[in-house]
């Protein structure tokens, strides 16, 4: 690979979906709308706002349909929703959302826990959902969960990941994504998977969804940057986690990631200080501390520049 760091990176804020749905206290719709509006004001251009799942299983997402109809519209801002099955996709289409993420696990064990079906069945369903979504005029991002390992199965062969990606590309997805659902990724593993996947991506941009379970989230981002990856999912305050992964931790924090990239001279357009104010507000709402770091630092005046 010709390794060179991109000049600009797109941060996809997933806190209102991945972050909120991991919490027990349900966020009222009006507060969600306020958070989303403030994230837009902070410079985030892509925000995943909901998932279309059964409201009894994930009460936090029960208002997905009404939330989407009330979203503040702004030029250049894209709202997305996660869908895991055909019923969820039907609801997404009816809601008027313009972009969806169709996600499935490369791990059979995780797929059975998360989606209630074997990996091969989830892949078959996912490909049919991609076709349906594209036919409905939606922008489709297809993602592979557990791309960097599974707590039950261990390391997932890169060839399996590549095979899934090849099928996604054949079905015409607009964006590809690899998710480190269990936070088992490491720089060598990230590089090995990217070596297998990037030659197959063609014109489809590749995004990474990194969790910080073992403290390597931003380290893995650095490894991916050298491969030219320029789209990363982040969550305000480092919120999030998978309920089907023991010891699950949150996503890489939006503030932490934007701060790191700023120090590297990589443009994001995100004001991490303004995002930090939202994170601190939501810490008070949930009555807990989020695992990120920079949102706490933004509560204080910035120190003088080092000599």
Which residues are tagged catalytic?
242
Q: Across residues 253-264, what is the average pLDDT?
A: 97
pLDDT digits (tens, 9 = 90+) for 11-56: 999 999 999 998 999 999 999 999 999 999 999 999 999 999 988 8
What's the CA gap between 165 and 129, in Å, rounded? Answer: 15
Residues 273-305 have pLDDT tens digits of 999 999 999 999 999 999 999 999 988 776 665
Residues 104 and 115: beta-carbon distance below 8 Å: yes
CATH architecture of 10-297: Alpha-Beta Barrel (3.20)
Q: How confident is the model at residue 243 (pLDDT cuts 50, 70, 90)?
A: low
Average pLDDT on 2-16 reads 90
- Average pLDDT of span 95-109: 95
What residue spans define the domains of the chain?
10-297
Q: Which long-range contacts (CB under 8 A, 24 or more apart) does 300-307 make?
A: none
* Residues 160-207 pLDDT 10s: 999 999 999 999 999 999 999 999 999 999 999 999 999 999 999 999
Q: What is the per-residue pLDDT for 113?
A: 83
pLDDT digits (tens, 9 = 90+) for 64-76: 999 999 999 999 9
Assess whether pLDDT exceeds 50 at residue 1: no
Give me 203's structure tokens. 């014109």
Q: What does the pLDDT look like over 116-167, one tens digit per residue?
A: 889 999 999 999 999 999 999 999 999 999 999 998 889 999 999 999 999 9
Going by DSSP bridges, is the β-strand pair 10-13/139-145 parallel, antiparallel, or unpaired?
unpaired
Q: What percent of the chain has pLDDT over 90?
A: 81
Report H helices in the chain: 29-41, 64-69, 86-95, 108-114, 119-135, 158-170, 187-201, 217-225, 254-263, 272-286, 294-297
| Pairing mode, strands 99-105 and 139-145 | parallel
Contact by Cβ (8 Å): 256, 218 = yes
307 — pLDDT class (breaks 50, 70, 90) = very low
- Three-state DSSP class for residue 54: coil
d(CA 179, CA 147): 6
């Amino acid at each position: 690979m010709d390794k060179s760091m991109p000049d600009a990176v797109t941060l996809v804020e997933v806190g209102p979906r991945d972050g909120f749905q991991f919490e027990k206290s349900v966020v009222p719709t009006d507060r969600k709308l306020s958070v989303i509006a403030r994230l837009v004001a902070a410079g985030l251009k892509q925000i995943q706002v909901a998932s279309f799942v059964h409201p009894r299983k994930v009460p936090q997402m029960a208002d997905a349909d009404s939330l989407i109809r009330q979203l503040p519209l702004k030029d250049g801002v894209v709202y997305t929703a996660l869908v895991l099955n055909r019923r969820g996709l039907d609801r997404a289409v009816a809601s008027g959302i313009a972009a969806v993420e169709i996600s499935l696990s490369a791990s059979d064990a995780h797929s059975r826990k998360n989606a209630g079906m074997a990996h091969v069945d989830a892949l078959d369903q996912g490909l049919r959902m991609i076709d349906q979504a594209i036919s409905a005029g939606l922008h489709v991002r297809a993602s592979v969960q557990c791309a960097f390992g599974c707590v039950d199965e261990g390391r997932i062969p890169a060839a399996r990941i590549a095979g899934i990606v090849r099928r996604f590309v054949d079905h015409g997805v607009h964006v590809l994504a690899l998710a480190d659902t269990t936070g088992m990724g490491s720089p060598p593993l990230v590089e090995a998977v990217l070596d297998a996947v990037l030659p197959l991506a063609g014109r489809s941009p590749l995004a990474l969804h990194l969790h910080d379970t073992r403290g390597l989230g931003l380290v893995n981002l650095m490894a991916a940057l050298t491969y030219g990856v320029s789209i990363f999912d982040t969550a305000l305050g480092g919120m999030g986690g998978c309920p089907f992964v023991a010891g699950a931790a949150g996503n890489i924090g939006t503030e932490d990631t934007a701060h790191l990239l700023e120090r590297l001279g990589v443009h994001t357009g995100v004001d991490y200080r303004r995002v930090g104010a939202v994170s601190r507000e939501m810490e008070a709402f949930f009555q807990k501390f989020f695992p990120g770091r920079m949102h706490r630092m933004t509560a204080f005046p910035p120190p003088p520049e080092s000599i």
